[in-house]
């Protein structure tokens, strides 16, 4: 078992120097110096069926990530030569250009630092996803098993929703913006004292003083509806 601790949500993303298909890069500076969010995601291996479908989908939705001021960067323990050959194959055979860099982590050093290695294999990475904001703070961590491909639209929903929550100071219910109880409204964080608690149901709609909600910015909510999984 690796002694490296996975960076936690709310912590700074570790500073890393990586070799990629776009040259040597420094993380998180490569993105944050431009004021961008980024998603670092790992895959078990190049030239495998599930990973190929994921890279096709990440590339298809890349313009949507760009609209959210969010970059992408992949990773596996394959060599840079393998990565380059694979993305060329994807473009030639499937007609999809992979526009983002992929980290060649042959020694597994980055994977160990980020806790990405599979329990049954010291040489294969799980399907991990790190969502990092433009200040270099880890905002979301998702892990999928090797046999389950990721839902790329759900990752888009996560980023878009986090950005709205940062602007509004609200929190999002399950399945937002299509929640079964409050629709596309956002939850007001619980009050911090008795006086505020007594005012909540006078200020906002809700089911209890600790469960109130308010309208989300309509235009932004509609954008997320289009991005969210159906």
Pairing of strands 70-76, 16-20: unpaired
Q: Which residue bears the tokens 């806790």? A: 115
Separation between Cα atoms, residue 97 and residue 91, nearest integer Å? 5
Q: Which residues are catalytic?
A: 51
Return the pLDDT at 199: 96
Domain 163-227 class, CATH top level: alpha beta
- SS3 state of residue 91: helix
Please state which architecture CATH assigns to domain 16-149. 3-Layer(aba) Sandwich (3.40)
Return the pLDDT at 3: 47
The full set of domain ranges for the chain reads 16-149, 163-227
Query: pTM for the whole thing?
Result: 0.93
- In order along its 230 residues, the chain shows pLDDT tens digits of 344 578 999 999 999 999 999 999 999 999 999 999 999 999 999 999 999 999 999 999 999 999 999 999 999 999 999 999 999 999 999 999 999 999 999 888 998 889 887 665 556 678 999 999 999 999 999 999 889 999 999 999 999 999 999 999 999 999 999 999 999 999 999 999 999 999 999 999 999 999 999 999 999 999 999 988 87
Contacts of residue 194, defined as CB under 8 A and 6 or more positions apart, other chains included, come to none
Cα-based angle 43, 47, 49 (whole degrees, multiple of 5): 75
Return the pLDDT at 2: 42
């Amino acid at each position: 078992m690796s002694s490296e601790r996975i960076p936690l949500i709310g912590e700074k993303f570790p500073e890393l120097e990586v070799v990629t298909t776009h040259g040597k890069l420094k993380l998180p500076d490569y993105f944050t110096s431009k004021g961008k969010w980024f998603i670092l995601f790992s895959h078990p291996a190049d030239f495998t069926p599930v990973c190929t479908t994921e890279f096709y989908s990440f590339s298809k939705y890349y313009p949507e990530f760009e609209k959210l001021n969010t970059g992408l960067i992949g990773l596996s323990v394959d060599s840079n030569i393998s990565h380059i050959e694979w993305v060329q194959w994807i473009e030639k055979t499937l007609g999809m250009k992979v526009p983002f860099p992929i980290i060649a982590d042959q020694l597994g050093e980055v994977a160990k630092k980020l806790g990405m290695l599979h329990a049954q294999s010291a040489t294969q990475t799980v399907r991990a996803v790190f969502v990092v904001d433009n200040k270099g703070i880890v905002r979301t961590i998702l892990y999928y098993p090797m046999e389950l491909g990721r839902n790329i639209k759900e990752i888009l929903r996560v980023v878009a929703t986090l950005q709205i929550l940062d602007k509004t100071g609200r929190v999002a219910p399950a399945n937002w913006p299509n929640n079964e109880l409050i629709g596309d409204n956002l939850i007001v964080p619980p009050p911090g004292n008795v006086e505020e608690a007594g005012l909540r149901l006078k200020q906002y709609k809700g089911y209890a003083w600790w469960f109130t909600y308010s309208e989300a910015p309509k235009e932004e909510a509609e954008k997320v509806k289009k991005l969210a999984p159906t």
